Amino acid sequence: TFPAAKKGGVSMTKESGGFDQIDQWKSTMFLYSSALKSINTKIEILNNEFIQLYNYNPIEHITSRLKTPESIVKKLKHDDIAGIRIICSFMSDIYPIADMIARQADITVLHVKDYIKYPKTNGYKSYHMVVTIPVYLSEGKRDTKVEIQIRTIAMDFWASLEHKIAYKFEGKAPDYL
């Protein structure tokens, strides 16, 4: 037999003194990691379907990440610990991909930030969606937030370079850069 399911994957017995913070951290990271796997699979299926139907792949590559512990502490208010980045060849692919994701029956779009229509002052462009996706655990379904960024190869290059410049010069990059 299996041990009794734990609420949120965390032991809540008197012996453990309530929530054990390490177990809670591991459970949270497991939940977000599972959400990333689930949404990554959905996006790969959509891309493969597009190839099958149109002999064209709109997605160059997909990357995902869980934030670092330090970053998570800062971001816990927003609850967007998990993120996935979809890199396209052309800007004309971004909105159709976002639409295909939004039409998935079990994905709920919470909000969108369109930095393509409204770029940041530093030139940053990208399309961001915060969504929830269900993760099915032994205790039942847990809707989990994931941030999806959709951008072109050129936008990704600029974002990466701009981030490195800002980090290297601590926000005080020389004007020539």
Strand, coil or helix: 104: coil
Query: How many other C-beta atoms can be found within 10 angstroms of the C-beta atom of residue 130?
Result: 18
147 classed as catalytic = yes
| Whole-Å CA distances, 13 to 6, 19, 31, 163 | 10, 8, 21, 45
Rg for the chain, CA atoms, rounded: 19
CA nearest 49: which of 108, 109, 96, 110?
A: 96
Q: Is residue 95 within 8 Å of 113, Cβ to Cβ?
A: no
Burial of 173 (0-12, 13-18, 19+ CB in 10 A): middle
Which residue in 60, 147, 162, 170 is the catalytic one?
147
Report residue 158 as tokens: 């600029």
Catalytic annotation, residues? 147
